[in-house]
Amino acid sequence: SNSDGGGMYNSNSTLTISNVTISSNTAINGGGMYNTGSNIKVKNTALLGNTSEKGGGIYNAAPFSNQIFTNVTISGNYASVNGGGIYNVNTYLSLYNSILLGNHTGIYVSSGQVGFEYSLIQGNSNTNNGNIDATGKTVADVFVNPQTPGLSALGNYSLKNTGIALN
């Protein structure tokens, strides 16, 4: 896309997304998904191998929208400026039982709030709320056959049987 939201653009909407893969997209902001003024629930979904300047996987923008991501994998995404996995501006974002790992960079929070529970979040060492310490962890520790961040969603992002994220 020559604009925002290479895979999906959501504006002033309320929606639920489940059981999809958003992969190999390019945009200025939000290579995989761009959300503005929207209340979104994303379940059992993968955002893989998307690229942009900001928010390779996801770009969340004002005005104060709410996003809830449950059982979501965000991996292999690339942003040339910030937020390879997620770029967040004036948005309330909650991640539950999710994996954000192996992106060019993790989560960039310009403003707003980001919370996570029972998740593995790139750059996070806090184990409160059931989270897994991501210090020193790589995608090879978690996924069967992940790929390098960029325009490639090829590979197998299933959890390893011996992986740290398997419960």
Q: Provide DSSP, 7-67.
A: SEEEES-EEEEES-EEES-B-SB-SSEEEES-EEEEEEEEEES-EEEE-SSEEEESS-EEE
Instruction: Read off the amino acid at residue 23.
Output: S
- b/e burial code for range 140-164 (CB count within 10 A of at least 16 → b): ebbbeebbebebbbebebebeeebe
Strand partners, 165: none
Which residues of the chain fall short of a pLDDT of 70?
1, 64, 148-154, 163, 166-167
**Residues 28/55, Cβ–Cβ less than 8 Å:** no
| Strand, coil or helix: 141 | helix
Strands 156-159 and 143-145: antiparallel
Omega prior to 63 cis, within 30 of 0: yes
For position 87, what pLDDT does the model report? 96
**Residues 100/114, Cβ–Cβ less than 8 Å:** no
User: Cα separation of 167 and 14, whole Å?
Assistant: 31
**Residues 86/61, Cβ–Cβ less than 8 Å:** no
Q: How far is CA 166 from the centre of its chain?
A: 19
Instruction: Read off the amino acid at residue 100.
Output: L
Sign of the four-CA dihedral 157, 113, 10, 38? positive
For position 84, what pLDDT does the model report? 95
For position 56, what pLDDT does the model report? 96
For position 150, what pLDDT does the model report? 59
